[in-house]
Structures are given as C-alpha cells and as structure tokens.
C-alpha cells in the first residue's frame, strides 16, 4: 500500500491536471465534448469519497504493483 496526502481534493486534482498524462488526456477529450467540468466534478467526487482525512486535506491509500523487466542479451 502507498499512502498519499495533499492539501485538499481540489489541490490534488489540480496536480493531476498538470502532470498526470492519463488525466490530462481524459480532460482534453472531455473538453472537446463540452464535458470537462463534468469530468472534473466526478474526479472530485471520487477523491472526496476515498478521503480518510477529516481536516479538509486529502489522504488515501492506494495499492500498486511494481513491475520490472529485463532485456535478453543476444
């Protein structure tokens, strides 16, 4: 498990909008359909629902699977 914490759900979404490729692309595609605000609102709903903090900040845990790869010599 990995623990994450940010200033607020909105600050985390703003961070994702700047650096997280899949979020950037999803919001760009939604904007092309006139639905960017709707997608952002749903992202906020998702993170507010997962939030374990009670002080206005955002805290959540997330599972991840690290992977490694090696190239064959030859």
3-state secondary structure 3-67: EEEECCHHHHHHHHHHHCHHHHHHHHHHHHCCCHHHHHHHHHHHHHHHCCCCCCCEEEEECCCCC
Res. 3 pLDDT band, cuts 50 70 90:
very high
**Per-residue pLDDT tens over the stretch 10-27:** 999 999 999 999 999 999
Entry pTM: 0.79
| Exposure on the CB side of residue 8, measured as CA atoms within 13 A | 4
Q: What is the maximum alpha-carbon separation in the chain?
A: 56
Nearest to 1 by CA among 44, 60, 48: 60
């Amino acid at each position: 498990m990995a623990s994450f914490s940010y200033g607020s759900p909105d600050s985390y979404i703003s961070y994702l909008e700047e650096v997280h490729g899949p979020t950037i692309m999803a919001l760009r595609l939604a904007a092309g359909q006139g639905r960017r605000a709707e997608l952002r609102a749903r992202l906020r709903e998702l993170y507010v629902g997962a939030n374990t903090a009670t002080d206005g900040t955002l805290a959540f845990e997330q599972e991840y699977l690290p992977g490694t790869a090696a190239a064959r010599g030859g």
